[in-house]
Structures are given as C-alpha cells and as structure tokens.
Structure 1
Amino acid sequence: MGQNDGECRTAAMAPRIEDYAIIGNTRTAALVNRDGSIDWLCTPRFDSGACFAALLGDRRHGRWLLAPAGEHRVDGRRYRDDTLVLETGFSTDGGAVRVADAMPVRDRRSDVVRLVEGVRGRVRMRGELAPRFDYGQAAPWLRVDGRRACALAGPDTVFADADVPFTVADDDVILSEFEVGEGERVGLRLQWVPPRQSPSAPGDIAEVIAKTTRWWQEWTGRCGYRGRYRTQVIRSLITLKALTYAPSGGMVAAATTSLPERLGGVRNWDYRYCWIRDATFTLLSLLDAGYVDEAAAWREWLVRSVAGRPEHMQLMYGVEGERRVTETELDLPGFAGSRPVRIGNRAGEQFQLDVYGELMDAVHQARACGLPPDENAWQVQRALLDFLEGHWREPDNGIWETRGPRRDFTHSKVMAWTAVDRAVREVEEFGMDGPAEDWKRLRQEIFQEVCERGYDADRGTFTRYYGSAALDAALLLIPQVGFLPATDERVRGTVAAVERELCRDGFVQRYGTTGEAADADGLPPGEGAFLACTLWLADCHILAGDTDRGRALLERLLGLANDVGLLSEEYDTAHRRLLGNFPQALSHMSLVNTALNLERRGGPAHQRARGEGSAAADRRRDGPWPRTSPARP
C-alpha cells in the first residue's frame, strides 16, 4: 500500500487473510500485515483482550505500523530459515530497508521486537504505535519520555522502547520518525507488564532477534522428517509450536477470533481455545516428527483438563484447562464487515460424543508410540468408558458443533466405537485392567448399529446422521480410525459420494449448507471448502493404495498457502481467498500427517522402517493410518 498517512483502509484496499504472517512466543501471537502493520495482538495470553484489534476493524482499534513514510513498495517477505522471525523488504525511490519482526521466547514475558536495517540508500521511516486495550474499546493514557513510552488503562500496561525518540500525535498515537542509511539499524520493542510492575531494560534488539532465530533453528533441528515436503512440514510444525501455550502444553485452534468462514456472514467464531477433537492429530503430528516432549505436554494437558466427572467433559477448554469460555459479542466492524465479532465460544456447552473417542484414541496412540505412561491416564479413561457405555446412543451436536437440534451423527457413533475399541486394546496390548469381554460386546453393538442405521445401501454411502440423505466429510475418517478398511466398498462408496457432492474445484466442503443439511446446521448457508477435510480425502486414497491421487490432492492444497506458507481453516473457491481463523492448527497438523503418510506408504522411508526390527520404531514410522486394525463387517 503506497500511503501510510494513517487513513482507514477503504473496502477496496482492505487486507485479505492471506496478507498476514504470524509471530509468537509460545504464549500468545501477533499477526503482521504485509504493509508492516501489526493488526492483532492479545497479551499476555492467546485468549487475553487484544491491544491491537485493527484486524477486526481499522486503525482506531489498535495497531503498530512500521514502514517507510510516503510512497513505497513492498519487495516481499519471508521467514528466516526454519524460524518464526519474519523479514519484510520495503523500497522507495531513495533506498531500501528490511524490517525484522519477532517475539522472543522467554518465561513470563510478552515482548514484540522490530528491527529496521538499511539495505541501500537512505529511507525515512514512520512508526505509528496505537495501543487500544480490550479489543479496541479502551483508549489508554499515554506518557512519553524520550525513547520510552507507556500506555496504560485499567489492568493493562505496555511500554515501548526505541533507539529513536517518541512523540505523541493529537489522535493518541505514539509516533517514531527517523531515517535509516545503508548498514544502519534501529530497534524498537513493545513489552506488556503486569499491573504495578516495572519493565525490563530494552537490551540490544539485534541480539534479541539473533537469539530468537537460534532458538527456533535449534527447535526445528529436532525434526526427524527429511522427505519431499520438508519445507512445508517444518513451516507447519513451527506454526503448531507457535499456537502452543508453553506453560500448560495446550494448543489453541488458531490465534484469532471471528475471521469469517464466509465474507460478510455470521459464521465467525473464537478459536483461541484448545479442542479435544484435535488431540490425536496433534499427538501423531508431534510424535512422528520427533517432538516427544511437546506430545507429552499435550497429553498431560488433556488428562488434567478432562479430570473430574466424565459427564462434565467439554469439547474445548481454555489454555490452562479453564472450563468457562462464555460467548459474548463485541461492538467491532468485523473483518470485511463480517459480524458479529465473538469472544468466547458457546460450543463449549455442547454435548459432543466424538470427543470421547478422540481422547481415548490420543492416549492409546501415545502409549503405542512409546510415550512414557501417565499414571492418571487410565483412571480417566475408565471413567470415560463407564459414562460412554450408558450414553453412546444419545444424539449430540456432532464434530462440526452444529447449532441446530441434536442428531444421531454417524461420525459421532463411529468415534464412540473408537473409544471402546481403544479401551479393549489397552487391555490386550498393554495389560491394563478392565472388562475387555464386556467392551468387545459393546464395540460390536455400536458397529452393527452404525452399519445398519448410518449407511444408505441404495446410494452406497454412509450418511451424515441416521435417516439422513446428507453427506459429511467427517465420514472420511472411518478408515483412519480403523472402523472399516479404505478398500471396503462401503468406504469407497462414501469417498466417491463425497467427491461427487461435496467437492468444489477439487476441495472438500464439510457438508452441504442447503436443504436438509441446513436444517441440521442451524445457521445461514454458505462457507468455504474445509482444508483439513481435503487432506482427509487424500489420506483415504493413500490408505486405499492410490498414492498418486493422494499426492496430487496434497500438492494442490499446498498451493493455497500464502507467501510465507500459512493456511487458514477454509478456502473460498469462487473468489480464491482463504477464509476462517488463521493460522489454523487443524489444517497444519493434517498437512503434516498427510505428508508423513505419503512417506510411510511407499519408498525408502517405508522400507527402512520395516527393516528396523523394532515394533516401536515400526509404529512410530509406519504411521497412524489406520490407527488400529479395521473392524469386521
């Protein structure tokens, strides 16, 4: 964007979701627009109130712009190799600069650091720092003293430090204006501090960024994947790490709230929480890539969060396992006019049967992959199975958290089967104590009901819920959890039906949003193709032995990532834009699993794993798909 005069962006100039990159410190994250503006930052946690919320409004709701003053060009941006340090190039008629943005990974700190480096000539820079606490609702009291500025309102305080002086404009914006010549550097830092505490000394920003670079490169150096898609897998793993709340091990679904699933629509949700349904995908992604410590921390978060009475288990929790995630609406314009803007998530109050299967599967896979046992895990699993035995027939809200009436969703019943199956395997494979024979009978009972009531023999496909003609892309998980093999003609028929009825331009929608499907959805129709579902389709083809089709789907989806390799939740095939909260953990963890799946299902890596002679190594390398032996008809 040529002008940086502080004018609100017009609709024609409004950013796209793919215009953003993420920086983070494994406690919270910021989104940086390609124009040099940090438009989103919640501090000190992912789910804290935002001090920069221009993402969901405009500059009046808080941002930090740092770019050349006057006319300039964006020459491109990238992450430093295998890191979360972002570099953006700008040029003017008089020269060029590079801006490095990062959040140092430190204990109990939430710093954002920015370093301007002169590349050639001389460039005049302008910084506009406008903290607006509580999602842009609270304009702070500003104080400036030379090279330090302070903004405070109620419990929130941020300090800014720079190598150049600050001033305050009439519109309560902290300004920094300076020139940078070739080889010169100017550093700036923003630090959130708890109430009544003093900020730390600024330090050398260049050294802080160098240290942050080393931290990420050391972390990515532990990745065990060396296949064809290493660049994309590494970027996805870094993104997953960035979405992890390090103190607890919990991983949020995305760094944002209310980025729309349809531009201008109402499908705008808060994803800054931890979903149980992501548990198995997360564990397998981390374990198979060599990140055992992170997987162990995630499992510990799972077990601790769901502790208590099993009927009180939620489908999602806060980053420390908080249960109260009350949904409210904010008076914000919304991204591209998409309202309402929500914080909190009412889906946390829903009953979702599938989460019991996801949790049981996650803990089982952790044991199967050799993760050291958790003494509390089996106690929690037994309690969940006791509850499930008496409640698996109940209708629920389903994996997609529909806000319509509860239904007997087929995928939910398949996941109830998965929960019982994993309990049987815990007894048979790991010697855990439990009534395996009773569980086997229950497993068969669920299996028979799903095949009788959830399958449409005339159309040759499983359906979204019992008695329905609608489809659901979650049914693509049937072979992955081992309910039926991918080569079973009922699974093949379901895959063909999904490709025929739910694919748009080669990408998969979660379900239809008109007619009968809309009644179950409970929301106005219309959303994009769901990226994780497209990868689940790729996995089905790979499991069935068609790696070429699976690879083609993966590579087509990789083409949707933005210029720095990030994916959101959905894709608008008509307007060719990313949709939904960003970056999306489920999209990135599914990408990792599909890439690893391709590596396992053929070629040297697969053959090496088979030749190692170690069952644990085979399990780790030969992969999660299917997660268990398929059931018998």
Structure 2
Amino acid sequence: MTETEFTPIKEYGFIGNLETCALVAPNGSVDWFPFPHVEGASILAAILDPERGGRFQVSPAVPFEGTQQYVERTNVLETTFDAANGTATVTDFFPPAGKVDHPKKVLYRKVTCAEGSIDLEVEYEPGFDYGRADPAFVRTEKGIRAEGEDERTLLEATTDLEIVGNRVTGTLAVEEGDTEWLLLRCTGAEDADADPEGALEDTVSYWEEWVGTCSDEGSGCIFEGPWHDLAVRSGLALKLLTHEETGAIAAAPTTSLPEDIGGVRNWDYRFNWLRDAGFTVQALSSLGNSEGATEYFEWYMNLCQADEPEKIQPLYGLHGESDLEETELEHLNGYRNSRPVRIGNGAADQTQLDIYGELLLAVDEVLELGRELDDEEWDAVHDIVEYVREVWDDPDAGIWEVRGPGRQFVYSKVMCWVALDRGIDIATTYGYEAPVDEWRDARETIKEDVLENGYDEDTDAFVQAYGSDALDATGLLIPIVGFLPFDDERVQNTIDAIEDRLLEGDVLVKRYDGDDGLPGDEGAFVLCSCWLIDALALSGRVEEAVDRFESLIEYVSPLGLLAEEIDADTGEQLGNFPQAFSHIGLVNSALYLGHVQGYESPGAEPMGIRLGDSVSRDDG
C-alpha cells in the first residue's frame, strides 16, 4: 500500500451519536466506524488498511475538489464536492442517543445538488470485526443487508444498488435541487421507522441547544474572548467523546493512529483514563457544561467506590470494564503501514500513582460547582488519600505509561502531594472526618522529598525522575496545581529549561527527552504545548503565552479538530484523532488566557488555578 492511499489525519471530519462515532474523509469516504460502541469492533476501518478495513464512500465519478464544514455549532458534517458539471453536498450525522426520538443506530447520509448535475458513485464495502469477518450479502425489500459474525447492516437508498463481490455499488444522478438519502442501518435498527428529514432537523436542534450553554450569554459559561468559538468547537468534540449511558469520556475514538509514521507507537485510546479527570471536569465546567462534568465525576466515583484504592486502574472501558487485554491485529497493515495495529491497552495493568491526585483535583472541582459528597463517596475519597499517604514513595509507571521497570517519577510524587493537599482542603472546608494532622505531615514530607530529589541543580530544573537529568513537560504543572508559586525561581527555571530542551519551533513541546524503552520517535504533544502556554500566562508572561497560543491554533484542522501530537517538521497531525486531552488543553489554555486578560464573565473565576499560592486554603 502506498502512502497516497491514506487521507491525512487532520483532514477527517468527526461525527457520532454519543455511543459510537465515524470519521469521514473529504472524498466522502467513511473510513472508521466502530460498533455498537466506540470501543467496539469496527465495521469500517479503511483508515487502518484501505484494502481490508472497509469503507462507505459517496463521491463524484469525475475529478472533484472536496471540502468540509460543520453545520454551524453542531456535530452535523457537510462534505461538498465541486466538479466541472456541478456541485453536490453529502450531509452526514447520527441522531444523538437518548436525546432525540429517532433511531440512534443509523448513519444518515443526505445528498443534495446545489447547481448543475453530477453523478455520485456509491461504494459500501463493510469489514466487520476489524476486517476479520467476510460479509454475506442479502437483498431485501428495504435494501441490501450485510452480515458479519456478530453484527449486520442494512444499506437503504433511493437508488438501485448492486452486489459486486464483497461490496455494494450504485450511482446517484442528481441535478440542481435534488435530494437523495442513504441510510446505513446497523444491528437493532434494520426495521425501525425512520424520518430522515426529521432526524436531521432534530439533531441540528439538539446540538444548537447544547452549544447554547457555551454561548457568550450562557448562564454557566465563564469564558469569553477571542478564542470562544474555538473553545466551543473543542467542547463539541469532547461531547462526542462522551458516552451517554455512563458519562465516561474516551481519550480518542480511534486506535493505532501512529505517533511515529511507520513505527510501533500505535495504541488503542478508546477508553477512559482517570488521569484526565481533573482537567476534563475543569474544561467542561468552564464551557458551562456542569451537567456533563458532574456526570463524569459520578461515573469515576462509582469506580472508586467499587474497588479498593490499590485496585483502581489507570483506565477503564466506557462501561467500566477492567479487562482491556492488549492484542495485535496482524492482518491489518496500519495507517501508512505503521504496525502493529493494537486493540485493548496493557497500560490498564500498570501502577500510576499520579491518578489519585488527578481524581482529587476533579473532586475539588465538582465541589466548587455545588455538588456535595455523600457518606459513601467521602469514604472512598478518604480511603484514596490514606492509601496515597502509604504508597507515595513507591516507584510507578508514571503519567506517560513507560513500559519497563518502575521509576521515582517527580510528577507522580507531586500528584500524591495534590491528593493529600486537596483531601485536607475538602475535609476542613466541608467538615468531613479525616486524620488531617497526619495528612498534613505526609504532605510536608512529600514536598520536602520532591524539593530535595526532584530538582536537579546542574540541570537547574525539576527533572523527570529522581536521579535523572531528563526533562519532562509535566514540570510545567508544578505551579498550576499549587505545589510551588509561579514566581518561585525553581519554577521559572524549569519553564526556561523546558523551552530550551523540549520546545520545537514557536510552541510545539515534546513530552520528555529521556529514554522510554520504545524504538522510534514521536511528535510534539499538543497538551504539553498547552501546559507551556498556561504556565507562561499564569506567571505573568502574558504576551509570550498569547503568541504561543496563536501559533498553536495554526495547527488546528479546518474543522477545529486536533490529534494527540504534531510533527514539528511537517506540521502534520499524528496519533489518535481527535484527542480529548488536546481539546481539554485547548479549552483550558483559552480559559487561562481569558483569566489573565480579563475576559471571564463578571464574578467568574477559572477553576483549578492556585494562582501561585503554594499554601493550602486550610492553612490560611
């Protein structure tokens, strides 16, 4: 397979129904569609292998230029084809599950002709179970049914369809003013009543109403300013990554899109990482989506109540599944021949001590929203803080999930400090019973240990791990979580060192410069670029922060979407797409910049900012 067969990652549009999703290329091809949920096996996966993965393409039979846009402030995608004889648009959407009275397991594709006349070729080639199941086709009164081992689809069209080998083909001949519909009905929706025009109208209305909570006039949104629309688009992407039934948020809707083209850094991100908790709750709250923030909080609190602290995993399935066994799909060649293609994620079995601090950050955020903890929830929080007090000095795999022997990661220690710090604050502020004096002692012990062993005088910065001189972008979070004030010399030295050693170009920041035990390299991590912007802004280096933020948003796709990483040499987006962490970072950076420039709504304060105060609130 040649690389020209692959669409650049950043050119894809993203649609979904709050249970699953699809990626649509500018040539009208749906190249990724897992079912019935985002973490399910794919029906379409041409993005991972054009020959075996499967696709559903609607595009002109003659040369054309394809462009995409969303219906304003919605997740309804329009792909427009300009050809010599005419212009046509394919409108793609799923009805959001539980939000509108239309079958959710249907991909709707509306074809309209704006001018001239144009013939559109239809090609549907399913690849059930990641391309491992050969489809069987049956013609029915409604259309053509394709069956795999576990799933089936029914392609319904307003044109004649033919079965040719392992695919379904047809032609839509449209003239100015014409409208045609293609419905891909999936398991459970083959016979459901469908009203395509009504489904489109109601889906658009749902998203417009949802975005209304993020408008400048919205009662809950605390962010205004020049990047408001960009932040709202990130909010729409985050909402699509949210599972309606549980409130869990997928890190990304895809698997194995490479961090290194042709390399092995290809992971399955269709799960929920607890480390995202605090940052996610902050972003959702800042966009006025306090309901989503609270639902997410309640989901992971249920997980914490179900397990002892030592059994809490770094990540779970979106329904709370704990068994995420990692396997390789050897029959797929991978995006641009980047192998292996993986499903599942072995990081679920790792010890990552930072997750407890991130969980406590999220608890703190939600309490600020007015949500109270019941006795069982406080017991779970109490037990987590007690557990951290016992194990904070153990080695772990760290936030970046290094595969190999555990290390004494500085960020893990800092987040253990955060767990104790926020635990103390919550207990004293809300009157929960806790051994606060013992927690204060442990908090001070951790801080002394990190200051003695985590800051390297020769490097003149906080390093990645004890005894190492490698730098890590997580050092930028030390003042943001309140461990040290922004004006502390060690904090500013760390920012400068990271700019010197991890910064590429104007804004692209690599995660770290130490060995992680894997071959190959990776791109700059979008979230780390956001952390740099945040640290600069909150240090008073506002002009630098604004300049870097403006540089960062130049890498955002035309649809307002971001992958996990960016290649500093080419500007190409890398890794799974779209990435929740990237959009969380974008929202929070816009928030912080808005804060320092005075763009918040009157009386609002951004959540999670300690503003340089290294003394906990309970200490005055």
TM-score (norm. length: structure 2) = 0.95
State the distance in 2 between where 1:89 and 1:376 align.
53
Aligned to 1:598: 593
Aligned to 1:625: 609
8 Å Cα contact 2:127-2:135 kept in structure 1:
yes
**Cα deviation 1:334-387 (Å, max 9, x = unaligned):** 001101100000000000010011111111121123234454321111111222
Give, in angstroms, the shift of residue 59 of structure 1.
Answer: 4.2
Give, in angstroms, the shift of residue 199 of structure 1.
Answer: 2.6
State the distance in 2 between where 1:348 and 1:468 align.
26
AA matched with 1:163? T
Aligned to 2:64: 72
Give, in angstroms, the shift of residue 13 of structure 1.
Answer: 4.2
The one of 156, 164, 175 equivalent to 1:181 is 175
Q: Describe the SS at the equivalent of 2:52.
A: helix
8 Å Cα contact 1:596-1:623 kept in structure 2:
no
**Residues 549 and 376 of structure 1: is their aligned pair in 2 closer, same or farther, counting only changes over 3 Å?**
farther
**Residues 159 and 390 of structure 1: is their aligned pair in 2 closer, same or farther, counting only changes over 3 Å?**
same
Correspondence 1:82 to 2:88? no
State the distance in 2 between where 1:218 and 1:418 align.
36
Decide which moves more: 499-508 or 145-154.
145-154
8 Å Cα contact 1:149-1:161 kept in structure 2:
yes
Aligned to 2:322: 323
**Cα deviation 1:76-120 (Å, max 9, x = unaligned):** 210010001111111222211111111111348322110010111
Aligned to 1:162: 157
Give, in angstroms, the shift of residue 21 of structure 1.
Answer: 1.0
**Residues 193 and 12 of structure 1: is their aligned pair in 2 closer, same or farther, counting only changes over 3 Å?**
closer
Q: Describe the SS at the equivalent of 1:441.
A: helix
**Cα deviation 1:108-138 (Å, max 9, x = unaligned):** 8322110010111111111101111111111
The one of 28, 31, 34 equivalent to 1:39 is 31
Give, in angstroms, the shift of residue 147 of structure 1.
Answer: 4.6
Aligned to 2:96: 105
State the distance in 1 between where 2:83 and 2:109 align.
20
8 Å Cα contact 2:281-2:293 kept in structure 1:
yes
Q: Which runs of structure 1 show a deviation greater than 4 angstroms over 4 or more consecutive aligned residues?
A: none
**Cα deviation 1:55-94 (Å, max 9, x = unaligned):** 10004321100011132222x2100100011111112222
Give, in angstroms, the shift of residue 453 of structure 1.
Answer: 0.6
Give, in angstroms, the shift of residue 546 of structure 1.
Answer: 1.5
State the distance in 1 between where 2:612 and 2:154 align.
53
AA matched with 1:568? A
State the distance in 1 between where 2:373 and 2:124 align.
48
AA matched with 2:311? H
Aligned to 1:545: 540
State the distance in 1 between where 2:12 and 2:275 align.
26
Unaligned runs of 5+ in 1: 1-8, 610-617
Aligned to 2:46: 54
**Residues 18 and 62 of structure 1: is their aligned pair in 2 closer, same or farther, counting only changes over 3 Å?**
same
Decide which moves more: 382-391 or 119-128.
382-391
**Residues 142 and 464 of structure 1: is their aligned pair in 2 closer, same or farther, counting only changes over 3 Å?**
same
Decide which moves more: 13-22 or 144-153.
144-153
Aligned to 1:94: 85
State the distance in 2 between where 1:10 and 1:208 align.
39
Aligned to 1:232: 230
Q: Describe the SS at the equivalent of 2:144.
A: strand
Give, in angstroms, the shift of residue 252 of structure 1.
Answer: 0.3
Q: Describe the SS at the equivalent of 2:590.
A: helix
State the distance in 2 between where 1:405 and 1:628 align.
34
* Aligned pairs for 1:212-231 within 5 A: 212-223=203-214, 224=221, 225-231=223-229
The one of 545, 567, 575 equivalent to 1:580 is 575
TM-score (norm. length: structure 1) = 0.93
AA matched with 1:510? R
State the distance in 2 between where 1:126 and 1:283 align.
44
Correspondence 1:313 to 2:312? yes
Q: Describe the SS at the equivalent of 2:32.
A: strand
Aligned to 1:11: 3
Give, in angstroms, the shift of residue 627 of structure 1.
Answer: 7.7
Aligned to 1:509: 510
State the distance in 2 between where 1:355 and 1:191 align.
40
Correspondence 1:292 to 2:290? yes
Correspondence 1:468 to 2:452? no
Give, in angstroms, the shift of residue 626 of structure 1.
Answer: 2.5
State the distance in 2 between where 1:102 and 1:176 align.
21
Q: CA RMSD in A?
A: 1.6
**Residues 597 and 604 of structure 1: is their aligned pair in 2 closer, same or farther, counting only changes over 3 Å?**
closer
**Residues 81 and 479 of structure 1: is their aligned pair in 2 closer, same or farther, counting only changes over 3 Å?**
same
State the distance in 2 between where 1:631 and 1:84 align.
43
State the distance in 1 between where 2:179 and 2:34 align.
28
State the distance in 2 between where 1:145 and 1:631 align.
70
State the distance in 1 between where 2:573 and 2:157 align.
35
Unaligned runs of 5+ in 2: 215-220
AA matched with 2:194? P
Aligned to 2:22: 30
Aligned to 1:479: 479
AA matched with 2:176? E
8 Å Cα contact 1:162-1:187 kept in structure 2:
yes
The one of 144, 148, 151 equivalent to 1:149 is 144
Give, in angstroms, the shift of residue 459 of structure 1.
Answer: 2.8
AA matched with 1:39? D
Give, in angstroms, the shift of residue 143 of structure 1.
Answer: 1.1
State the distance in 1 between where 2:388 and 2:117 align.
68
Give, in angstroms, the shift of residue 600 of structure 1.
Answer: 1.5
Give, in angstroms, the shift of residue 28 of structure 1.
Answer: 0.8
Give, in angstroms, the shift of residue 10 of structure 1.
Answer: 3.5
Aligned to 1:613: none
